[in-house]
Structure 1
Amino acid sequence: MKHTQSEHPQEQVMFKKNLFTQKRVLLSIAICLALILIAIALLTFGKANTKIPVSKKFDLSDTDKTVITGKVLADPTLQQGFAFDNTNNHIYMVQITNAGQKLGTETRTYGSAERSIKGDLTVTKLSADGTILGKMYLIGFGHGVSIGVEPVDTTAYLWTEVDAVADKSEPNNGFGTKIARFPFVDNQVLVNTDPSITKYTPVAGADRTTLNIDMANGLLIMRYRLNGTLFHYSAFNLAEVKDGTYKPLATVDQPKGLGVFQGFASYGSYLYLLDGTAYNLNTNPTGNTYITTVDLNTGLQVDRAMMNTEKSMLFREPEGMAIQIVGTTARLCFGFGSYRTSMDTRKHANIFYKDALIKGN
């Protein structure tokens, strides 16, 4: 016999209850899956990441001390990034290659603007006291904002940006699109297509790439831009990057409100950013050079302080940061380019540091 709904009201009520319960269960499962996917995405991007052991951080109020001052580099142009070979006690500093030189297989000389757009860099190898020990030229690499050094016995492997392209927002400068590792070879002119260069692309689609090596903690930090907008920093295990494995331990955004970006360094779970423009005793007596501290595990800005170092310089432009290890002491180093004299605007290199560490967050 055929039944209508009204003939079995209790069954109909039970049917509706079961259907409602099933929908609630399915909805709960969907919500849980969505939360899991969000958590995975956050961990992958590094926002909720605590994979870097919490370390001490540098006290930005610490007194400034001197590494080197008034040193001549291989070229008279302004210093850019620098890094330390803490094993062999050397300093490596990069600068835009000077005009008027014909290098390697080049068929003509190039002007300053051409060198900058092409991303041609000069590397100067210095002793601990700033004496020139050698030089190397890098053709088509980038702007040299930050570099790294990985010592392997007595050989220094340099880590830099590579494959420079001119940027739409800064068409007069070439910036890297990948990162590179290669040995320092005195007097070599190294073109960016040379097979001795190992190239890496830790973040697909990134440009404006540059990096820092934290040898004390085995980390590589890459600064990069995505979609032509925001800058980010991703921390990787150095050994994994060398093996071609790109799993970020943390990724943070560059804080808003910085001045002109001039370099960065990392030590443990903290990132240090340098910003500012040229200081002039007569026209800009207070200066605008700052160091900002960022927690790599949370992305939060935890400190920011003005650097009044060596205000007596007639010209003092902030350029470059790096970590130096002397014995068991870590130094947060930051650089300034300066004029040689009031009448000679060729540049001198200068590096200062802070070494007081305080408890991290």
Structure 2
Amino acid sequence: MKYTQSEKSLEQMVLKKNSITPKKIFITIVLALAFIALVIALLQIGKDNSQIPISKKFDLSDNDEVLITGKALTDPTLQQAYAIDNTNNHIYVVQITNAGQKLGGETRTYNSAERSIKGDLTVTKLSTDGTILGKMYLTGFGHGVSIGVEPVGTTAYLWTEVDAVADRHEPNNGFGTKLARFPFVDNQVLVNTDPSITKYAPVAGADRTTVNLDMANGLLTMRYRLNETLFHFSVFNLSDVKAGNFKPLATVDQPAGLGVFQGFTSYGSYLYLLDGTASNANTNPNGNTYITTVNLNTGLQVDRAMINAGNSLLFREPEGMAIQSTGSSVRLTFGFGAYRSSTDTRKHANIYYKDALISGK
């Protein structure tokens, strides 16, 4: 077949138009890179919550100070967590309920293992110098990893985990599946089905639920697990949760590489995590207790430091964190359970703090 001159010209124009040239390759690459950058930016926007106003953060290199040390609680068991009522100047400490007690309508006593699986907790109300002011018992609540306190006038509403179930990975412990709010009532035995308890499930399908309140900023932080895998932290306006609005301001993953998790607290735009295991002043005075700081708006770990506070204690196990406000000062507090003496393994409560704040990012 022969082509006319005009037909050849037309064919050449079509071939030229459809040919792949270096210029077209360059433009394609540029457009592809721009698209990838846009996708990454959009994903980052979703991860960068940036709904919590940027606050100062605690300087983990600051010296440690003593709040209380060597204080007995209602039961001789290890402190699990605590919360500080900064309005009425009280401390509320939770423990696994001691063995051998018959509480409320119970028909028999329970041993330590049974109390732990059931999720039975003892709450001790202390003054800020560690004097016992009252007690309360919670049955069927959880392990007491973290709690919060919301003062309403002179009444303290405690926030805890509730409706404990035994974890198949830790079958000897019961952990909460919801959050609970209820007033502290001295000498009360509160069963987890009592109508005075308001229950919340801010994250569908969550288990291992624990809670902390940042009353200075009106925030509630919940730690929880999904699908029996990773732990997460979601921050809500406290007023929203109480109104049944469960839209979080921020959600971050628990950082990898932590030791045994022992508690958490938040202040402003930063989350503080406590991890470590028991140590002994005679054999391992430095221990392995760490505090880790996480930016709630980005999910990034921004600090991590070993904590040497209380390294002269016998059986020094990190347990619990809370924020204390005293006048114009704000304190990052963290606790340790310890033996009463070298011959008395009943436990004492100990709380230390750091109060130096530095600029956040």
Relative to structure 1, the CA distance from residue 182 to residue 246 in structure 2 (aligned partners, 3 Å threshold; closer, same or farther) is same
1:199 is matched by which residue type in structure 2?
A: K
The answer for the alignment partner of 2:82 in structure 1 is 82
The superposition leaves residues 196-235 of structure 1 with CA deviations (integer Å, 9 ceiling, x where unpaired) of 0000000000000001100000000000000000000000
Q: What SS does the corresponding residue of 1:115 show, helix, strand or coil? A: helix
Measured after TM superposition, the shift of residue 79 of structure 1 is: 0.2
The answer for the alignment partner of 1:125 in structure 2 is 125
The superposition leaves residues 213-272 of structure 1 with CA deviations (integer Å, 9 ceiling, x where unpaired) of 000000000000000000000000000000000011010000000000000000000000
Measured after TM superposition, the shift of residue 47 of structure 1 is: 1.6
Seq. identity, %: 79
1:151 aligns with 2:151: yes
Looking at structure 1, the residues matched to 249 and 350 of structure 2 have their Cα atoms a distance apart, in angstroms, of 33
Looking at structure 2, the residues matched to 42 and 247 of structure 1 have their Cα atoms a distance apart, in angstroms, of 19
The answer for the alignment partner of 1:262 in structure 2 is 262
Matches within 5 A, 1:12-91: 39=42, 47-91=47-91
The superposition leaves residues 104-124 of structure 1 with CA deviations (integer Å, 9 ceiling, x where unpaired) of 000000000000000000000
Looking at structure 2, the residues matched to 349 and 211 of structure 1 have their Cα atoms a distance apart, in angstroms, of 21
Q: What SS does the corresponding residue of 2:113 show, helix, strand or coil? A: helix
Matches within 5 A, 1:302-313: 302-313=302-313
Measured after TM superposition, the shift of residue 281 of structure 1 is: 1.9
Matches within 5 A, 1:137-148: 137-148=137-148
Q: What SS does the corresponding residue of 1:208 show, helix, strand or coil? A: strand
Looking at structure 1, the residues matched to 109 and 124 of structure 2 have their Cα atoms a distance apart, in angstroms, of 20
* CA contact 2:57–2:270 (8 Å) conserved in 1: yes
The answer for the alignment partner of 1:3 in structure 2 is none
The superposition leaves residues 10-61 of structure 1 with CA deviations (integer Å, 9 ceiling, x where unpaired) of xxx9xxx9xxxxxxxxxx9xx99xx79x94x876xx6221000000000000
Looking at structure 1, the residues matched to 111 and 338 of structure 2 have their Cα atoms a distance apart, in angstroms, of 22
User: What is the TM-score normalised by the length of structure 1?
Assistant: 0.89
The answer for the alignment partner of 1:217 in structure 2 is 217
Measured after TM superposition, the shift of residue 314 of structure 1 is: 1.8
Question: Number of residue pairs matched?
Answer: 333
The answer for the alignment partner of 2:3 in structure 1 is none
The answer for the alignment partner of 1:162 in structure 2 is 162
* CA contact 2:124–2:132 (8 Å) conserved in 1: yes
Looking at structure 2, the residues matched to 238 and 139 of structure 1 have their Cα atoms a distance apart, in angstroms, of 25
The answer for the alignment partner of 1:321 in structure 2 is 321
Q: What SS does the corresponding residue of 1:240 show, helix, strand or coil? A: helix
The answer for the alignment partner of 2:111 in structure 1 is 111
The answer for the alignment partner of 2:360 in structure 1 is 360
Measured after TM superposition, the shift of residue 283 of structure 1 is: 2.7
Measured after TM superposition, the shift of residue 81 of structure 1 is: 0.7
Looking at structure 2, the residues matched to 231 and 42 of structure 1 have their Cα atoms a distance apart, in angstroms, of 20
2:270 is matched by which residue type in structure 1?
A: Y
The answer for the alignment partner of 2:21 in structure 1 is none
Q: What SS does the corresponding residue of 1:277 show, helix, strand or coil? A: coil
Looking at structure 2, the residues matched to 99 and 213 of structure 1 have their Cα atoms a distance apart, in angstroms, of 30
Q: Which runs of 4+ in 1 moved over 4 A?
A: none
Measured after TM superposition, the shift of residue 96 of structure 1 is: 0.2
Looking at structure 2, the residues matched to 311 and 94 of structure 1 have their Cα atoms a distance apart, in angstroms, of 23
Looking at structure 1, the residues matched to 253 and 244 of structure 2 have their Cα atoms a distance apart, in angstroms, of 24
Q: What SS does the corresponding residue of 1:117 show, helix, strand or coil? A: helix
Looking at structure 1, the residues matched to 47 and 138 of structure 2 have their Cα atoms a distance apart, in angstroms, of 35
2:249 is matched by which residue type in structure 1?
A: L
The answer for the alignment partner of 1:202 in structure 2 is 202
1:175 aligns with 2:200: no
Q: What SS does the corresponding residue of 1:346 show, helix, strand or coil? A: strand
Looking at structure 1, the residues matched to 225 and 310 of structure 2 have their Cα atoms a distance apart, in angstroms, of 33
The answer for the alignment partner of 2:349 in structure 1 is 349
1:193 aligns with 2:193: yes
* CA contact 2:117–2:173 (8 Å) conserved in 1: yes
List alignment gaps of at least 5 residues for structure 1: 1-8, 18-27
2:326 is matched by which residue type in structure 1?
A: V
Looking at structure 2, the residues matched to 337 and 209 of structure 1 have their Cα atoms a distance apart, in angstroms, of 22
* CA contact 2:285–2:312 (8 Å) conserved in 1: no
The superposition leaves residues 259-317 of structure 1 with CA deviations (integer Å, 9 ceiling, x where unpaired) of 00000000000000000000112332321000000000000000000001121112100
List alignment gaps of at least 5 residues for structure 2: 1-9, 19-30
The superposition leaves residues 80-99 of structure 1 with CA deviations (integer Å, 9 ceiling, x where unpaired) of 11001100000000000000
* CA contact 2:275–2:291 (8 Å) conserved in 1: yes
Looking at structure 2, the residues matched to 350 and 83 of structure 1 have their Cα atoms a distance apart, in angstroms, of 13
1:131 is matched by which residue type in structure 2?
A: T
